[in-house]
Amino acid sequence: MLRERAPLWLKLLALAGGLCLYVPILTLMVHAFTKGTVGGQGIGLTFEWFAQAWQRPDVWAAFLVSLKVACIATLIALALGTLSAAAVARRRRWERNRVSWLIIIPILLPGFIVGVALKSVFDLASIPLGYWAIVIAHATICVAIVYSNAALSFRKDAALQGEASMDLGANSFQTFNHVIMPTIAPALLSGVLLAFAVSFNEVLITYFIAGQETTLPLWLLNTFTQADQTHVASAVATIIFLVTLLPVATACHLLFQSKR
Amino acid sequence: MSTVQRLGLFARISDALWRYPKHVFWILALPPFLWFATIYAAALIALGYQSLFQAETAAAGGYGVSFTNYLDLLAPKNMTVLARSVVMATTVTLAVAIISFPLAYYVARYSHGKWKTLFYFGIMIPLFTGYLVKLQSWAVIFSSDRLLGEAFSILPIGFTQTTSHWGTFLILLHIALPFMILPVMMTLGRLPRAMLDASADLGAHPVQTFRFTILPLAAPGLVIGSIFTFSLTFGDYIVPRILEHYGPLLGQSVSQLAIEQGGASLAAACTIVPLIVLLVLVWIAKKAGVFDAP
């Protein structure tokens, strides 16, 4: 088939869009790895800011809080998201749509609305703000991500193949172990990885319910006001970016493989 | 002679799982259902309670229902904040739609094979890049020991009181961009080539093809992207606060109230109203069939 070529103006506009996406992040990386300015004494490559961040106990504490919260929230989301996807897999289309939209509400609404709502729930129910409050909030938003990945795979592949397996005489457990699980595993894994990335980066809801706890994004937020800290903050932001990059890239890879 | 085989417990459970799909459905659905029902109900009850039972009356020992919080919302000064937020969110959404469309169209129509995968990759990464990572990038761009030297001081952006809305606009635009590109790209990816050819064959000018064929077919993606963008922008409170936006935006005021002592009841009222408005808007979009996955 003859491939069409894009007109030049479209290419340029697309390129401009791409630059809008990437220039700020690249600036950040350059800032994290260099010292000096272009105009002044010249620019030099350095790992000094990463070394400084490494030695900071407050950065480590925040990093560990973020890591633990993300892991627990992701596990809860994995359970709830997979269960809901499995439950609706064989229901009618309008029922599935209704469930999808109920699950997706928390990520569709503005951050402050969800944050303030959860804060008043925790206040009235006298659940202390902090660690577990963050875990509950993150789990709730992460369900949407696990669900949307799992639902598609359940519906398209697992349902039909499961039926075939039962027709061929396998019992429910055999079908689950040998047919359904292997079929949905890549989708679940990519859901888990993306959910981890979202939880690790979440700040707009966390801000309201963190109490005394500091996650890594919240640490970054508190550091904005300190002008002498911008380089270390850039180093930390780069670390967050890289910690997110790996799971997201793996998840994308899995998604593309299953598409083929 | 037929022998009736007695089934073991294991096999009987296995059969039951197949035989009673309704029960299986509820066993599966119960944990997530309880989780979401509890949180949603609790959120609505808590917001309603806090906004209706004012902090002062509770402190005085009375338990009166009062709508003062809701009447307070109608004060002209609050209406100004609301209008400012809506204008900001709308302009950012429009700008994001305009910037993302060519990129989405190019990737969906003209890229193939490895390149297409790479482009999808390139959209997914900023989509999941954290809010604060993006914000830190802009802090670097705007900061005093800026890497780009004085380049950005020529542009009307930065931390000054009068121009900070340009900075806010730019940062919000950057944060929201991938949330528009991806859904638009998905819908454009399903655009039937034959339709475009047919349009051209029937003598339509490319502009007409765009207006009457491409745009209507891309509409679901644009609507989903706009919901995400509007929601992100409208609900943002960190960017305008850091840039010291010349007048507070809605999220900024509410977030301030929510963490202040005694501000919780007004904050609840300020939250429940946009919450209901947005839910109704999303419901309308859903009725129009935007969320119906193919």
Closest CA to A142 of A101, A103, A113, A109: A103
List the single best residue of B129, B142, B260 to mutate versus A (max A Cβ within 10 A): B129
Q: How far apart are CA B68 and CA B266, in angstroms?
A: 9
Tell me, what's the pLDDT at A2? 52
Judged against a pLDDT cut of 90, whether residue A147 lies above it is answered with: yes
pLDDT recorded at residue A95: 81
Interchain pair B255, A208: CB under 8 A: yes
pLDDT at A106 over 70: yes
pLDDT at B163: 59
* Distance separating alpha carbons of residues B281 and B228, to the nearest angstrom: 12
pLDDT grade, residue B13 (50/70/90)? confident
Those residues with Cβ within 8 angstroms of residue B237's Cβ, 6 or more apart along the chain or in another chain: A111, A112, A204, B249, B251, B252, B254, B255, B256
Contact yes or no for A120 and B11 at CB 8 A: no
Complex prediction ipTM: 0.88
The verdict on A97 touching B (C-beta cutoff 8 Å) is yes
Chain B positions touching A105 (Cβ under 8 A) are 40, 279, 282
pTM for this predicted structure: 0.87
Q: Which of A15, A116, A220 to mutate to test the interface with B (most CBs of B within 10 A)?
A: A116
pLDDT at B249 over 60: yes
How close, in Å, is residue B1 to chain A by CA atoms?
23
Report chain B residues whose CB lies below 8 A from the CB of A14.
102-103, 105-107
pLDDT higher than 70, residue A11: yes
- Residues B81 and B250: their CA atoms lie apart, in Å, by 6
Cβ–Cβ below 8 Å for B28 and A115: no
Window from A52-56, B19-23, B86-90, B128-132 with minimum mean pLDDT? B19-23
Answer whether B274 touches A (CB < 8 Å).
yes
* Contact at CB, B132 and A220, closer than 8 angstroms: yes
User: Residue B1: is its pLDDT beyond 50?
Assistant: no
pLDDT of residue B5: 64
Predicted local confidence at residue B189, as pLDDT:
86
Distance (Å) from the C-alpha of residue B7 to the closest C-alpha of chain A? 12
For the stretch B183-231, pLDDT in tens is 999 899 888 888 888 888 888 888 888 888 888 888 889 998 998 999 8
The pLDDT of residue B197: 83
**Which residue in chain B is spatially nearest to A234 when comparing CA positions?**
B136
pLDDT at residue B51 above 70?
Answer: yes
Checking if the pLDDT of B156 tops 70, the result is: no
Residues 109-128 of B with CB under 8 A from A: 109-110, 112, 117, 120-126, 128
* A38: chain B residues, CB-CB within 8 Å: 147-149
Say yes or no for a CB contact (<8 Å) between B145 and A4: no
- Burial of residue B78, with CB atoms counted within 10 A of its CB: 0-12 exposed, 13-18 middle, 19 or more buried: middle
The larger pLDDT score, comparing residue B244 to residue A133, is at A133
Read off the pLDDT of each residue in B101-107 and give the average, rounded to a whole number: 92
Residue A113 contacts B where some CB pair is shorter than 8 Å: yes
Tokens representing A168 are 């061929």
Which of A164-173, A212-221, B164-173 has the weakest average pLDDT? Answer: A164-173
Tell me what the pLDDT averaged over chain A comes to: 86
Average pLDDT over residues A170-183: 81
Q: Are A148 and A100 in contact (CB under 8 A)?
A: yes
pLDDT of residue B294: 44
Contact A116 B47 (CB under 8 A): yes
Residue B184's pLDDT is 93
Q: What is the pLDDT of residues A38-91, one digit of tens each?
A: 555 666 777 888 888 888 888 899 999 999 999 999 999 999 999 999 888 877
The stretch A173-191 carries a mean pLDDT of: 85
Task: Please count the other Cβ atoms lying within 10 Å of the Cβ belonging to residue A184.
Answer: 24
pLDDT of the residue at B64: 61
DSSP, collapsed to helix, strand or coil, labels residue B260 as coil
Query: Which residues, other chains included, contact A130 with Cβ-Cβ below 8 Å and sequence gap of 6+?
Result: A209, A210, A211, A212, A213
A6 or A62, which is more confident? A62
Confidence at residue B4, expressed as pLDDT on a 0 to 100 scale: 59
| pLDDT (tens digit per residue) in A201-216 | 999 999 999 888 899 9
User: Which residue of chain A is at minimal alpha-carbon distance from B103?
Assistant: A14
Residues of B in contact with A21 (CB under 8 A): 122-123, 126, 174, 177-178, 181
Model pLDDT, residue A13: 92
Residue B65 to chain A, least CA–CA distance (Å): 17
CB A220 within 8 A of CB A202: no
- The pLDDT score that the predictor gives to residue A63 is 93
Residue A3 has pLDDT above 80, yes or no: no
| Chain A residues close to B144, C-beta within 8 Å | 227
pLDDT tops 60 at residue A113: yes
